Chains A and B, each alone.
Chain A
């Protein structure tokens, strides 16, 4: 990635990262409880890795936190005044049927960034994520890895205080995974609070500051990463870390 040589500016505007608080949050669909009740607070600088087997409710938790879903019961609250600036990167990037640059410019326009600065900000972000050569390429003909990087670049131009990533690397090859993980570190260094789901324990080891472990729709454990990987407390997490198949 070209950006690694560029100076990393930790933007003071992003500090301190706002804390996210789940207060007895439950999410049900057709009378079936899919998640919760869960209560926890995400403080500190993260990155927080939300882990757990498939169907544990990781994506639901992220969508509730980001506000894409409304809890059936309970409340999602932020320590900051009002809702912090936030963005989300999905497992399958949703890109507009336009050029790579136009995708970023659209996101800037939607967020009322002045027209004259949009093109420059978009190009800077494309460069940072190694996509400068593709700026005029239709976003949907880019490779899977490039598309995910474009989705990250789109989040980058919005300077989010909090960035949610939902299994961003699950469909990618190792080189593309590496690029995404580097991008996640860059966000973290800039001061963006990262909350990311993964079912890849190796990825979690590489990135995590703290781990929120879910299984069966319940939060089983929320501990600093080292503690989680060295000595998980809950039975489910012990099995998960040991590499057993957990339901």
Chain B
């Protein structure tokens, strides 16, 4: 019985295991904060690329699309080099803190949010353009209108970003270091327990992680449906 992953997962949850809750809380904090920061930067960036014509625009689009597939360890390595003692931002002493993990995940999630929102906003702009020009709107004025009208599509984009952030292990491992009680999150804990051969615990953690992600997705879906019905 003790070797059954579901049993382990359930008992971890029901025992209100303090360590587990700390790990879960840190996972959520890091990933949600990273997605929030990436959204604040990425949505306007995506909308701007959709709205403005400038030299090298196609290049920007290709790079954004390509970076959606950026390997987490590469993102981790980049942030590691940036934050390591010898790096340009080494003096901040950020390496192996949750802050560093947030930065690494922002690097991973930002291209996804920017590239996908660029696509959604551009589609919508095709539909709205004449009306906007008729209303005398500048491009800068079109941006908030388009982002708001694309809100349902962008919610899905946001979830894709959160999925990427909460699922990756390479980047947080490299810049966080999986320090017990400080930077250990669900994914790094799973890697560690698997390495130690504690498979039921690893699997139990995996089940908890999956459940959390599902709950967040279900919540977002319900929220989206409710507002969609209210505002069309």
Contacts and interface: CB of A to CB of B under 8 A. Distances in A.
B232 A139 contact: yes
Contacts of B131: 90, 94
Contacts of A90: 130-131
B136 A66 contact: no
A96 B130 contact: no
A106 B232 CA distance: 16
A88 B134 contact: yes
Interface residues of B, number: 18
Contact of B135 (A97, A107, A140): A107
Nearest to B134: A88
Nearest to A166: B130
Given A98-B149, A140-B232, A110 B134 contact: no
Nearest to A93: B131
A99 interface: yes
A94 B149 contact: no
Given A98-B149, A138-B231, A110 B128 contact: no
B127 interface: yes
Contacts of B134: 66, 68, 87-88
Interface in A85-105: 87-88, 90, 94, 96-99, 102
A94 B141 contact: no
A111 interface: yes
A67 B133 CA distance: 8
B137 interface: yes
Interface residues of A, number: 23
A222 B130 CA distance: 27
Nearest to A67: B133
B125 to A, nearest CB: 11
A111 B232 contact: no
A103 to B, nearest CB: 10
A141 interface: yes
A88 B127 CA distance: 15
Nearest to A66: B134
Contacts of B148: 98
B130 A68 contact: yes
A111 B136 CA distance: 8
B130 A99 contact: no
A106 B127 contact: no
A36 to B, nearest CB: 21
Contacts of A96: 128, 145, 149
Nearest to A89: B134
A138 B232 contact: yes
A99 B136 contact: no
A141 B232 contact: yes
A110 B231 contact: no
A99 B149 CA distance: 11
A94 B137 CA distance: 15
A196 B223 CA distance: 43
Interface string B138-165: 0001000100110110000000000000
A94 B231 contact: no
Contacts of A138: 230-232
Interface string A63-94: 10011100000000000000000011010001
Contact of B232 (A67, A99, A107): A99
B121 to A, nearest CB: 13
Contacts of A66: 134
Interface string B50-89: 0000000000000000000000000000000000000000
Contacts of B152: 97
Given A111-B135, A141-B232, 17 more contacts: A63-B130, A68-B130, A68-B134, A88-B130, A88-B134, A94-B131, A96-B128, A98-B148, A98-B149, A98-B231, A99-B231, A106-B145, A110-B135, A110-B137, A138-B231, A138-B232, A140-B232
Q: Which 9 pairs of residues, A with B, have the shortest CB-CB distance? A: A138-B232, A94-B131, A88-B134, A97-B149, A140-B232, A110-B135, A141-B232, A138-B231, A110-B137
Interface of A: 63, 66-68, 87-88, 90, 94, 96-99, 102, 106-107, 110-111, 137-141, 158
10 contacts: A63-B130, A66-B134, A90-B130, A97-B232, A98-B231, A99-B232, A107-B135, A140-B232, A141-B232, A158-B135
